[in-house]
Amino acid sequence: MSKKKFKERKEKRHKEVSTSLKKMLLSLFDESAGASFQFRQLVRELGAKSKAENKEVFRLLDELEEAGKIKQLADGSYASTKKIATLEGVVDHVNPRFAYINTGAEEDIYVRTQDLGTALHGDTVRISIISQRKGQKAEGRVEEILKRNRTRFVGRLDLTPNRFAFVIPDFKKIYQDFFIYQENVGKAQHNDKVLFEVTRWGDGDKAPEAKVIEILGKTGENEAEIHSIMAEFDLPFRFPPHVLTESEKISEHISEKEVSARRDFRAITTFTIDPEDAKDFDDALSFRKLENGHVEVGVHIADVTHYVKEGTSLDEDAFDRATSVYLVDRTVPMLPERLSNNLCSLRPKETKLTFAAVFEIDQRGKIHSEWFGRTVIHSDHRFSYEQAQEVLESKQGMFAEELTILNDLAHKLRKERFARGAVNFETAEVKFKLDEKGKPLAVIPKVRKDAHKLIEEFMLLANRAVATYVHKMGKGSDRNTFIYRTHDLPDADRVNDFAEFAKQFGHKVNTEEKGISRSLNKLMDEIEGKPEQNVLQSLAVRAMAKAKYTTEPKGHFGLAFDHYTHFTSPIRRYPDMMVHRLLQHYLDHGKPVNKTTYESKCVHSSEREKRAADAERASIRYKQVEFMSLQTDKLYRGIITGVTDFGIFVEIIETKCEGMVRLADMKDDFYEWEERNYRVIGRRRKKVYRLGDEVEVRVKKTDIDRRLMDLIMESSGEMPLWEEKSRRPGRRR
């Protein structure tokens, strides 16, 4: 080969290599807009090995920089000049290593913890996409924090002898401590539970700084821990003085003029049925037989809006709270005690103002007529659920006939509801027996009997009837704006995933839209009393959409109602107060109200409802973990409720408390996670632990601060791998 041809071939090969490297460089920068690369990283990514190739990469970088396609940064790294696409979303910091940003799109954006900057869980941020390679999920980086979710947190103070301190947050989705200077510690002592406020957000390796706002008590003490939960979820500790003053000024006198403007039920048999420890009775049932053989049942609800007027401080405070919150040892009420336990509470032997839905019902449970409006009642008796249940079972005692007829009607209404496609979910709940200091003495499962279901069924009837009545009042653009409680159809993908999982237990679930509810009810009947009952019920609930408040007149999938609202609990729910006001407005022939204004109120109420539910769960979780921390080395039966790449979640059957068995603590094998099959499997012995399996566990460690519990599997008699290896023939011990 001549020198000329050799040179031409060499130049051609060099050109090909150069072109290939250039394409790869451009592709790398385009796919990672916003990211920067050191030269050695680029060489590794491109697979350049020879000195000549490295030299060519240098040359190409200069060429691309000169062309304005990339730029060299102050630290010597290179980045694309391409305009970075940004998105806005909310941080979900799932573990110490990474977070997801919920942008409202179908898939969340993955962000490494080091790329979060100072953003914390719940913050609203703007992110750039730094990597979105083919076949991989998008990865982002926080560019700007648009809105802090909160600046106050609760944690345990770790105070050093020189009075410098760190506070360790209680909230398990915050993975860093906060530094506090001596002058910002105040009178707080080591191991105090404190409310603290961030004064300076950290940067890089530097911890964020804070100051103590309030001392809640000693870590581990009931009062401190419950106050910690209240502060964590931003629940109010007390009512503002001006709100209390306003409530005290409300007259308790009921004038004859007010009584005459209402339908009078004082002479008709009326009673309440509530929990034993209830103080606010916001619903009562009236009962009388009619000459035509039918019965008249009145669902009477405390007329809170008679006392709480729009525009008052009382109303504004109630709207802000939106709901009462029921923690394990106390209630955080929506309304001051004078209203919730006195003026509005339907106490026995007292004349009370109410708002009612009254129904004429035949023996088959068919509704013949209905009436809505303001009433006045005089309750004859206050039943606890247990007392009413005793009367139902014995057929003897006060109002035995009335209760028996009402219970029979409730059974018929319930049967009709399920025939229409209502979903029958009976989730397990617990309550606690506490000593005078709040220490849990026992965990007691709540049992729902006919007395509970009787009240529930008539409340459902009233809520549905009110929503349907208002909805039928207008048509099209003249339709009345109203507050609905809606529940969408479950997500199809989630239902399919659930059906696949149920199949592993031998159960079939119809995933077609029209057959889902009946199929789920059939499944709930099939699994009753079986080991997989709890886990399948729990997963089925997770597959469902979340109920919410809205002005859109959509249906309620879970209850199988075309229209539904919340009318029956205005003492503890602000949406019910709005429903009372709107219903009266339309009964008085008022025009449709502004939809946008009320939709905004619905969103606020739904958010507050979620906050309350989260706080209630946290308080239950705290008491469960505290109870388990007081137990000796006891063996418990549990059900596997979750499987992850780092551990197995187990719910203890006796206490309903959930803990984790970490895979690192399972010494009999090396377990690997199979996400699609909801299980882990031992690499050597093929031992399988899957969702729904019953296992035996012991408590390894409890962390009351973070409301977490570590468990260990009871030994199956198999020796750890290291011990097995040491006993193999030919090896020394």
Would you state the CATH architecture of domain 631-725? Beta Barrel (2.40)
Q: Tell whether the model's pLDDT for residue 504 goes beyond 90.
A: no
56 pLDDT band, cuts 50/70/90, is confident
- Asked which of 133-142, 150-159, 394-403 is least confident by mean pLDDT, the reply is 133-142
SS3 content of the chain, % helix, strand, coil (to 5): 35, 25, 40
Phi-psi region of 506 (alpha: psi -120 to 50; beta: other; left: phi over 0): left
**Residue 720 pLDDT:** 43
**CA nearest neighbour of 578 among 544, 549, 552:** 549
> For the domain bounded by 3-80, which CATH number is listed?
1.10.10.10
Please write the tens of the pLDDT for every residue from 322-337: 999 999 999 999 999 9
- With a CB cutoff of 8 Å and minimum separation 6, the contacts of 617 are none
- With a CB cutoff of 8 Å and minimum separation 6, the contacts of 5 are none
pTM for this model (two decimals): 0.81
Can you read off the two tokens belonging to residue 716?
A: 């199956």
Please write the tens of the pLDDT for every residue from 10-30: 555 656 666 777 788 777 776
CATH topology identical between 86-147 and 631-725:
yes
Mean pLDDT for the chain overall = 87
726 pLDDT band, cuts 50/70/90, is very low
Greatest mean pLDDT range, 56-70, 79-93, 554-568: 554-568
Please write the tens of the pLDDT for every residue from 608-620: 999 999 999 999 9
- Asked which of 62-71, 161-170, 389-398, 486-495 is least confident by mean pLDDT, the reply is 62-71
Q: How far is CA 322 from CA 217, 585, 675, in A?
A: 28, 21, 39
The CB density around residue 363, as the number of other CB atoms within 10 Å, is 12
Would you state the CATH architecture of domain 152-219? Beta Barrel (2.40)
Averaged over 431-447, what is the pLDDT? 87
725 pLDDT band, cuts 50/70/90, is very low
At 693 the three-state DSSP class reads: coil
Could you give the dihedral angle defined by the CA atoms of residues 58, 61, 67 and 72, in that order, rounded to the nearest 10 degrees? -120
- Asked which of 236-245, 287-296, 653-662 is least confident by mean pLDDT, the reply is 653-662
Averaged over 138-162, what is the pLDDT? 89
- Domain ranges in the chain? 3-80, 86-147, 152-219, 241-424, 477-611, 631-725
Averaged over 255-282, what is the pLDDT? 94
Can you read off the two tokens belonging to residue 414?
A: 């319930």
Q: Tell whether the model's pLDDT for residue 211 goes beyond 80.
A: yes
**Residue 132 pLDDT:** 62
**Residue 13 pLDDT:** 61
Higher pLDDT, 162 or 285: 285
Can you read off the two tokens belonging to residue 530?
A: 């079986």
**Residue 16 pLDDT:** 65
**Residue 731 pLDDT:** 33
Higher pLDDT, 511 or 358: 358
Q: Tell whether the model's pLDDT for residue 250 goes beyond 90.
A: yes
**Residue 14 pLDDT:** 57
Would you state the CATH architecture of domain 86-147? Beta Barrel (2.40)
Higher pLDDT, 298 or 278: 298
Q: Tell whether the model's pLDDT for residue 661 goes beyond 80.
A: yes
From CA 431, how far away is CA 443, in angstroms rounded?
Answer: 6
Sheet holding 70-72, edge to edge: 36-37, 78-80, 70-72
204 pLDDT band, cuts 50/70/90, is low
The CB density around residue 243, as the number of other CB atoms within 10 Å, is 19
**Residue 634 pLDDT:** 87
From CA 647, how far away is CA 635, in angstroms rounded?
Answer: 19
Q: Tell whether the model's pLDDT for residue 733 goes beyond 50.
A: no
**Residue 3 pLDDT:** 53
Strand bridging mode 708-713 / 658-662: parallel
Q: Tell whether the model's pLDDT for residue 473 goes beyond 70.
A: yes
Averaged over 188-211, what is the pLDDT? 89
Please write the tens of the pLDDT for every residue from 682-723: 999 899 998 878 899 999 999 887 888 999 998 644 444 434
Averaged over 188-215, what is the pLDDT? 90
User: CB–CB of 228/216 below 8 Å?
Assistant: yes
**Residue 99 pLDDT:** 93
**Residue 717 pLDDT:** 40
- With a CB cutoff of 8 Å and minimum separation 6, the contacts of 22 are 60, 63, 64
Higher pLDDT, 502 or 380: 380
**Residue 33 pLDDT:** 60
pLDDT above 70 covers a percentage of the chain that reads 92
**Residue 681 pLDDT:** 93
